[in-house]
C-alpha cells in the first residue's frame, strides 16, 4: 500500500497529482529547483526537497538527485508526471533499484516505446534515412521528445541540416537525449490519440479517442474527447492498434497511442509512455480519475474486465503566457490574477502574484468543460475563458476564445494546419473603443475635486494608453458635483475598480485593475503612457530587440558586422522556456551592429543587432 508519493515534476502536473493523493490519503513530496523555490507545487506538498540549480539539466533531469530526494523525504513511490524524465527507462530503473514503487510502465516498455524510432519499427513503420527532394516536406522529431520540443517542419532540402542541429539542441536541453529522426510530414491531417490503461494482470483498456489537431509549433493547444467525425470502423481500428501496441511491450499503467488521420486512414505516430497533458478530457467523459487508477495499478490491483462507458463531450484549452501575434513568443513577469469561472475545471500550477520565469514551459493553466454534447461543451468553455480575469503578461486567452468560436472548429472541420491558415484573423485586434476611457476614469477617481475641477471652462484632462499595439488618448472633465464626464458617453458610475458607461443607448460595465503602469479593463490589457515621452528612448531603424528574456545559444554561421542580409534571414537563436526561438532580419540590408554572442543572457528589449535597410 502506497503511503507517500514524490512527484518528479513541477507546475500544474505536480499540483494535479497531489490533488488526487490528498483525496485518497497519500502524503505528498515535491522537488523544486531554485527558480521554483516559491512555486505553487512546492508550497502545497506536505514535504518539499530542493534540487540545487535552475536549468532542467541541473534539476528536474537529474534522476539521481530525485531518487535521493525521495529516500530522504521518506517517500515509498515516485510518480513521473509528464515531460522531463517521465519516459526515461534509466530513471524508472533507478527508482525501482532504490526499493521505491514506480507509478508507471516497466522500464522495458518505456525503452521499447520511449524512442519513437524503435516504436515505429515495432509497428512496422520505418523513419526516413536519406532525405531527397521527393520526400519533402518532412518532419524532424526528437526520439525521446514530447510537447513540441525538438520538432521542425522542413520544406527545403537546404534547411535540413540547420533544423537537425536546432532540434538536437532542443531535445538535449529538454529531455537529456539529442537523438532525432526524420519522417514524412502529412499536412492537413488530424491528430487523434487513444488513451490506454493496463494492469499487471493482462487487462488493457482503450478509453476512447481524443482529437488534438489545434497545435502551434507541434504543441497541442485545444483538445477534446471523443474525437469528432470518426467512423465506428476507424474508431475500432484505432482502439485495436492502441491495445496491440500496449500488449506488444507488456505495458502497465496509463499511456497514449498517437495517430495522424488523413483521407480516412490512420498513420501511427508514437506511443507516449506516460500521462498526457490532455488527460482531463478523458477523465471527464469516462468519469474516472486516471491518476488514482495509476496508483491502484502500481499497487497491483486489477482493472475491471470492461472499461467504463463514455458520457458526453469534453474540451480542454491550454492557457499559455505567450503572444500568438508575435511568433508565439513566450512571456514573463508577474501573474497578478488568474480567476476562471468555476463552471469549468481548472488545473494550474500558479496562484495570484506568482512569477512566470524563463526556465520552463509557459503553460499557465488548463481549462476543461464537460457537457452532454460537443456544441454545449465548446460554448461552455469559450464563455468561461471570455469571462476569466487574467492579469499579467500577454496570454493566448483571446486566441483560445476565437478558436473555439471559429466556424471551422465548431463544425469539427479542423486539422493540424488550422493556425497556419487562420492565425492572422484570430489575432486581429478588436478592442472596445471605450476601454481607454474607462481606465482613465478609474484612475481619475479619488483625486481631489479641487485638483481637477476648474471654476471656469478649461481644457479637459487627458491620458494616453497603449492598447493592442496602438496609442490612444482620451479626455474627461471633473464636474461641479464632483463627478466625471466625457464627450460622447454618459458616465453612470466611476470608481477605482468599476466604471459604468452608456453610449448610443447601450450600457456597459468595466472592471478595472491597475498594477503600476499596467491596467486591465475587463479582458483587455493596456499600458499607461507618460504624459511627456522620453525623446532618448528611441531605437535606430532596423534594431533587433530581444522579444523575451533568455540565452543566445547560436549565431548564424559566418555572420559578422558589415555582412549583407536578406529579409527573413535567420541571424541568431534565443533559448527560452525550453524552446529555441529564431531571430530573423526585419528587412534586407547590411548588418551594422551585432551585440549577440553565444551564452549571452538577455532581457526583454535588449539590443541584439542592427540591420540598416538597403
Looking at residue 449, what is its pLDDT? 47
Record the pTM: 0.85
User: Rounded CA gap, 93 and 146, in Å?
Assistant: 21
Fold for 543-613, please state it. Answer: OB fold (Dihydrolipoamide Acetyltransferase, E2P) (2.40.50)
Average pLDDT estimate for 56-72: 97
Fold for 435-529, please state it. Answer: Glycoprotein, Type 4 Pilin (3.30.700)
**CATH number belonging to domain 4-103:** 3.40.50.20
375 three-state secondary structure: helix
Q: Distance from first CA to last CA of the chain, Å, rounded? A: 71
Strand bridging mode 204-216 / 219-225: antiparallel
Looking at residue 110, what is its pLDDT? 94
Superfamily of chain region 190-426 = ATP-grasp fold, B domain (3.30.470.20)
Average pLDDT estimate for 173-193: 84
> Lowest mean pLDDT: which of 45-49, 68-72, 540-544?
540-544
For the beta carbon of residue 347, count every other beta carbon within 10 angstroms.
Answer: 20
The answer to whether 129-184 and 435-529 have equal CATH topology is no
> Lowest mean pLDDT: which of 13-27, 120-134, 305-319, 462-476?
120-134
Beta-carbon-side half-sphere exposure of residue 304 (alpha carbons within 13 Å): 7
Contact call for residues 210 and 254 (beta carbons, < 8 A): no
The verdict on whether 274 is a catalytic residue reads yes
CA-atom Rg of the chain in angstroms: 26
pLDDT in tens, 152-174: 889 899 899 888 888 898 888 77
Grid coordinates representing 543? 534594431
pLDDT in tens, 8-38: 999 999 999 999 999 999 999 999 999 999 9
Looking at residue 450, what is its pLDDT? 45
Average pLDDT estimate for 538-544: 76
Boundaries of every domain in the chain: 4-103, 129-184, 190-426, 435-529, 543-613
Q: What is the DSSP letter of 130?
A: S
Angle at which helix 63-73 crosses helix 89-97, to 10 degrees, equals 30
Tell me which range, 52-56, 64-68, 447-451, 531-535, is most confidently predicted by mean pLDDT.
64-68
Question: Of 274, 345, 397, 554, which one is the catalytic site residue?
Answer: 274
**Best CA proximity match to 442, nearest among 534, 337, 515:** 515
Q: Among positive and negative, which fits the CA dihedral 325, 331, 333, 339?
A: positive
- To the question of domain 129-184 being in CATH 3.30.1490.20, the answer is yes
For residue 456, is pLDDT > 60?
no
Amino acid at each position: 500500500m502506497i503511503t507517500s508519493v514524490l512527484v518528479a515534476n513541477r507546475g500544474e502536473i505536480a499540483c494535479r497529482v497531489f490533488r488526487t493523493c490528498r483525496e485518497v490519503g497519500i502524503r505528498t513530496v515535491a522537488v523544486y529547483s531554485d527558480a521554483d523555490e516559491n512555486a505553487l507545487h512546492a508550497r502545497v506538498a506536505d514535504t518539499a526537497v530542493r534540487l540545487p540549480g535552475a536549468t532542467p539539466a541541473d534539476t528536474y533531469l537529474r534522476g539521481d538527485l530525485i531518487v535521493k530526494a525521495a529516500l530522504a523525504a521518506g517517500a515509498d513511490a515516485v510518480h513521473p508526471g509528464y515531460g522531463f524524465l517521465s519516459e526515461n527507462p534509466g530513471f524508472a530503473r533507478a527508482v525501482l533499484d532504490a526499493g521505491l514503487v514506480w507509478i508507471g510502465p516497466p522500464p522495458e516498455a518505456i525503452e521499447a516505446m520511449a524512442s519513437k524510432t524503435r516504436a515505429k519499427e515495432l509497428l512496422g513503420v520505418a523513419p526516413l534515412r536519406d532525405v531527397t527532394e521527393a520526400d519533402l516536406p518532412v518532419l524532424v522529431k526528437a526520439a525521446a521528445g514530447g510537447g513540441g520540443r525538438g520538432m521542425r517542419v522542413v520544406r527545403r532540402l537546404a534547411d535540413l541540416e540547420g533544423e537537425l542541429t536546432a532540434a538536437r539542441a532542443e531535445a538535449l536541453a529538454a529531455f537529456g537525449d539529442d537523438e532525432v529522426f526524420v519522417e514524412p510530414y502529412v499536412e492537413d491531417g488530424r491528430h487523434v490519440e487513444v488513451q490506454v490503461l493496463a494492469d499487471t494482470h493482462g487487462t488493457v483498456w482503450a478509453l476512447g479517442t481524443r482529437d488534438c489537431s489545434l497545435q502551434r509549433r507541434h504543441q497541442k493547444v485545444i483538445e477534446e474527447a471523443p474525437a469528432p467525425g470518426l467512423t465506428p470502423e476507424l474508431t475500432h481500428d484505432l482502439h485495436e492498434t492502441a491495445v496491440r501496441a500496449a500488449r506488444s511491450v507488456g505495458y502497465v499503467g496509463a499511456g497514449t497511442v498517437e495517430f495522424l488521420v488523413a483521407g480516412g486512414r490512420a498513420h501511427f505516430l508514437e506511443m507516449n509512455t506516460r500521462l498526457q497533458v490532455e488527460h482531463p478530457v478523458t477523465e471527464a467523459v469516462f468519469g474516472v480519475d486516471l491518476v488514482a487508477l495509476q496508483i491502484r495499478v502500481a499497487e497491483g490491483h486489477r482493472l475491471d474486465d470492461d472499461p467504463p462507458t463514455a458520457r458526453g463531450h469534453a474540451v480542454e484549452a491550454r492557457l499559455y503566457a505567450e503572444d500568438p501575434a508575435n511568433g508565439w513568443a513566450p512571456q514573463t513577469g508577474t501573474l497578478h490574477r488568474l480567476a476562471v469561472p468555476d463552471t469549468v475545471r481548472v488545473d494550474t500550477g500558479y496562484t495570484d502574484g506568482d512569477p512566470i520565469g524563463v526556465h520552463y514551459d509557459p503553460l499557465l493553466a488548463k481549462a476543461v468543460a464537460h457537457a452532454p454534447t460537443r456544441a454545449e461543451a465548446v460554448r461552455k468553455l469559450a464563455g468561461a475563458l471570455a469571462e476569466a480575469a487574467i492579469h499579467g503578461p500577454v496570454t493566448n486567452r483571446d486566441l483560445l476564445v476565437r478558436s473555439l468560436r471559429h466556424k471551422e472548429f465548431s463544425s469539427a472541420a479542423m486539422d493540424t494546419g488550422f493556425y497556419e491558415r487562420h492565425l492572422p484573423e484570430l489575432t486581429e485586434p478588436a478592442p472596445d473603443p471605450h476601454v481607454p476611457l474607462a481606465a482613465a476614469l478609474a484612475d481619475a477617481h479619488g483625486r481631489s475635486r479641487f485638483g481637477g475641477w476648474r471654476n471656469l471652462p478649461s481644457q479637459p484632462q487627458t491620458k494616453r494608453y497603449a492598447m493592442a499595439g496602438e496609442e490612444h488618448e482620451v479626455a474627461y472633465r471633473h464636474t461641479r458635483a464632483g463627478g466625471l464626464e466625457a464627450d460622447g458617453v454618459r458616465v453612470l458610475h466611476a470608481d477605482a475598480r468599476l466604471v459604468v458607461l452608456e453610449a448610443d443607448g447601450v450600457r456597459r460595465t468595466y472592471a478595472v485593475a491597475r498594477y503600476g503602469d499596467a491596467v486591465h479593463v475587463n479582458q483587455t490589457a493596456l499600458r499607461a503612457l507618460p504624459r511627456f515621452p522620453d525623446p532618448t528612448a528611441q531605437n535606430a531603424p532596423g534594431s533587433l530587440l530581444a522579444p523575451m528574456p533568455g540565452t543566445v545559444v547560436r549565431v548564424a554561421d559566418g555572420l559578422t558586422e558589415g555582412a549583407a542580409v536578406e529579409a527573413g534571414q535567420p541571424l541568431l537563436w534565443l533559448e527560452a522556456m525550453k524552446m529555441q526561438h529564431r531571430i530573423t532580419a526585419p528587412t534586407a540590408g547590411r548588418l551594422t551592429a551585432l551585440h549577440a554572442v553565444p551564452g549571452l543572457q538577455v532581457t526583454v528589449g535588449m539590443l541584439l543587432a542592427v540591420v540598416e535597410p538597403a
